[in-house]
């Protein structure tokens, strides 16, 4: 059930109607039922895996919390990690490992028969596994007591707005909200609706309009010259941001209407002036997850430069491979890790190294537009964006050789032909509307980053607010792409 479908609209409207009239004490049960129905919509068998993950972490966390002996706690933790990561590893990486094993054996002269298992990757498995593992680790580190009520814990793992593509939440942030259940208010409903609308706009009016062209070119990059591969990569840069941040906005909005606050997942990352700040603004819930559960346990920055370098590379390699079972993701992660290390070493900001993966609350001050240093700002923006775009080539390409071909093709640029745009799904009206939508996106993102008070002030006027809502409504319904296109991050 996709957020950008009428099926979800019908599901969510029905759910809200029941949820708002139901007594407070049965609302958690309703949320859990709705979450399971939502997830089973993809494939009912996936639900078994979700329930298994929930049971494993609920039980092992209780054992960890209650145990007095260290070895019991440790055994329970290892059991939980083995099961969770074992499931994730099997369904997501087994074929990749087998394929590479066959390749290496062939290279060594040992012929192995094809051994593909072809598991269907359960949607959102990487997200809810990480959320559940994070909780178990928090309980083990005694940062958070184990949840006694299985209902609340089950909701924490399966809460439908963020179940399939995050934000990857923390138990400390969500469990209290499920228990407290703040009443919704007109303000929360309005701001939730705005987020949903803005998320749909990004997904349907930008990401999905750009998607066919990107798909067409990246499916066979050798057939296209540099202009097309460059345009496709620029469009993918927009697509991946609008698709994923759009999903996050809708998730946050949907939860907010119900009375729950999810963490912010994106803060205008393409306005970052360094890779360090880019990673504080891109997929924040995953970055902070890796910071808390991998980077800091490895020693963070409180070690020698060599170990710190190793730590960063490990985090980015794991982050890369988390996105998918393909060498391209690993290269993408390592590319960013290496650049981040270089950037940090060059800028000699060793004292702030721990801030490479910052907390949300520390981000706000970073938005001040550096009016006094505009050249530095523009150079920083250009460098970060250019590097990010190059990184996306590896992220999107099917093979490393394709990525290298694409990068190589940029040395020969020719004038693109309109016919190709048309054949690849971007005829004139779509192209024109895409351009308009991107301009709107840039303006809104700049306002959100540098002058959020202006946006808030405009929303206080009923006429401006309603006018903008009507324009957004018709823009989505008249120019948005309909037809059940998945969110890019569902595959992860």
Partner 1 sequence: MSYRSFGISLALFILATTTIWTILFSLQVHLPYVSNGAAVVGHFKRSIAAKQSDYDNSNIRIAAFGDSRTLAAFNPRVFDALFAPKVRSYNFGIPGDSQFMPVLKTLLTSGTHPTHILLQYLPMDPVVEDSWRKILKDDKLIVNTLFPFRNFVRDLFLFVSESRSDGGLLAHYRSNRDQIEKLEKDRGYYFIKSQSHYAGNRLPDGYSLPTDRPTQVLERYLNTSNNGFVELTSLANKYELQIFVVPTAVRPGELAVPPEEDKSLSDRLKSFPQIHVVGPAYWIFELKYFSDPVHLNPDGAAVYSKRLADLLKPEFGN
- The residue among 40 and 313 lying less far from partner 1, judged by its C-beta, is 40
Tell me if 245 sits within 8 A of 266, measured CB to CB: yes
Given the residues 70, 283, 323, 437, select the one marked as catalytic. 323
- Angle in degrees, CA 479, 484, 490, rounded to 5: 115
- The residue among 113 and 186 lying less far from partner 1, judged by its C-beta, is 186
- The residue among 338 and 465 lying less far from partner 1, judged by its C-beta, is 465
CA distances from 165 to 28, 131, 178, 307, 475 (A): 21, 11, 20, 32, 25
- The residue among 9 and 119 lying less far from partner 1, judged by its C-beta, is 9
- The residue among 116 and 466 lying less far from partner 1, judged by its C-beta, is 466
Report the largest interatomic distance among the alpha carbons of the chain, rounded to a whole angstrom: 73
Half-sphere exposure of residue 154: CA atoms within 13 angstroms, side-chain side: 19
Tell me if 87 sits within 8 A of 94, measured CB to CB: no
**Catalytic-residue membership of 187:** no
Neighbours of 212 (CB within 10 A): 17
Q: Of the candidates 303, 295, 343, 349, which has an alpha carbon nearest to the alpha carbon of residue 319?
A: 295
- The residue among 2 and 358 lying less far from partner 1, judged by its C-beta, is 2
CA distances from 150 to 55, 71, 478 (A): 8, 25, 44
Written as six digits, the tokens of 403 are 């990525």
DSSP alpha helix (H) spans, 125-265: 125-140, 150-158, 171-180, 186-200, 208-219, 226-258
Q: Which residues of 1-33 are buried (b: 16+ CB within 10 A; e: fewer)?
A: bbbbeeebeebbeebbeebeeeeeeebbeebbe
Least Å distance between CB 83 and partner 1?
34
Least Å distance between CB 407 and partner 1?
18
Report how far residue 124's alpha carbon sits from residue 383's, in angstroms, rounded to the nearest whole number: 33
Please spell the DSSP secondary structure of 86-98, one letter per residue: HHHHHHHHHHHHH
Least Å distance between CB 417 and partner 1?
7
Binding site residues, partner 1, CB under 8 A: 5-7, 10, 185-187, 189-190, 216, 223-225, 228, 417-420, 423-424, 428-429, 432, 462-463, 465-467, 469-470, 473-474, 477-479, 482-484
Least Å distance between CB 207 and partner 1?
16
Least Å distance between CB 395 and partner 1?
22
Tell me if 239 sits within 8 A of 426, measured CB to CB: no
- The residue among 115 and 436 lying less far from partner 1, judged by its C-beta, is 436
Least Å distance between CB 13 and partner 1?
12
Least Å distance between CB 480 and partner 1?
8
3-state SS assignment for residue 145: coil
Task: Return the active site residues.
Answer: 323
């Amino acid at each position: 059930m996709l957020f950008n479908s009428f099926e979800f609209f019908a599901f969510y409207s029905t759910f809200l109607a029941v949820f708002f009239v139901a007594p407070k004490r049965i609302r958690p049960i309703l949320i859990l039922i709705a979450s399971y129905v939502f997830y089973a919509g993809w494939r009912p068998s996936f639900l078994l895996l979700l329930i298994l993950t929930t049971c494993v972490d609920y039980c092992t966390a209780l054992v960890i919390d209650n145990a007095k002996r260290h070895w019991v706690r440790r055994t329970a933790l290892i059991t939980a990690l083995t099961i969770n990561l074992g499931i994730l590893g099997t369904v997501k990486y087994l074929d990749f490992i087998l394929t590479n094993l066959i390749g290496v054996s062939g290279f060594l002269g040992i012929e192995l028969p094809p051994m593909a298992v072809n598991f269907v990757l359960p949607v959102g498995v990487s997200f809810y596994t990480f959320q559940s593992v994070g909780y178990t680790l928090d309980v083990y580190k005694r940062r958070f007591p184990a949840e006694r009520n299985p209902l609340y814990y089950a909701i924490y793992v399966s809460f439908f707005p963020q179940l399939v593509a995050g934000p990857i939440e923390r138990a400390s942030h969500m469990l209290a909200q499920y228990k407290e259940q703040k009443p919704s208010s007109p303000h929360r409903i309005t701001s939730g609706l705005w987020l949903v609308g803005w998320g749909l706009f990004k997904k349907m009016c930008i990401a999905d309009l750009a998607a066919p062209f990107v798909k067409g070119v990246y499916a066979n990059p050798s057939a296209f010259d540099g202009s097309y591969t460059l345009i496709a990569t620029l469009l993918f840069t927009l697509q991946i941001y609008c698709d994923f941040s759009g999903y996050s906005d809708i998730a946050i909005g949907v939860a907010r209407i119900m009375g729950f606050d999810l963490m912010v997942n994106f803060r205008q990352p393409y306005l970052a002036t360094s890779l360090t700040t880019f990673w504080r603004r891109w997929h924040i819930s995953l970055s902070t997850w890796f910071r808390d559960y991998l980077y800091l346990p490895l020693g963070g920055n409180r070690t020698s430069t060599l170990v710190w370098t190793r730590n960063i590379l490990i985090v980015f390699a794991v982050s890369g491979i988390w996105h998918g079972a393909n060498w391209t993701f690993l290269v993408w992660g390592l590319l960013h890790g290496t650049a981040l290390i270089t950037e940090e070493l060059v800028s000699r900001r060793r004292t702030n190294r721990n801030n490479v993966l910052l907390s949300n609350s520390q981000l706000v001050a970073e938005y001040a537009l550096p009016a006094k240093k505009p050249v530095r700002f523009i150079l920083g923006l250009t460098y970060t964006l250019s590097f990010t775009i190059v990184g996306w080539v590896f992220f999107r390409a099917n093979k490393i050789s394709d990525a290298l071909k694409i990068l190589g093709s940029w040395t020969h640029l020719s004038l693109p032909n309109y016919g190709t745009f048309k054949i690849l799904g971007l005829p004139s009206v779509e192209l024109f509307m895409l351009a308009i939508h991107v301009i709107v996106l840039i303006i809104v993102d700049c306002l959100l980053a540098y002058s959020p008070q202006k946006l808030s002030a405009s929303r206080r006027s009923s006429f401006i607010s309603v006018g903008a809502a009507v324009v957004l409504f018709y823009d989505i319904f008249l120019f948005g792409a309909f037809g059940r296109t998945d969110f890019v991050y569902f595959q992860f």
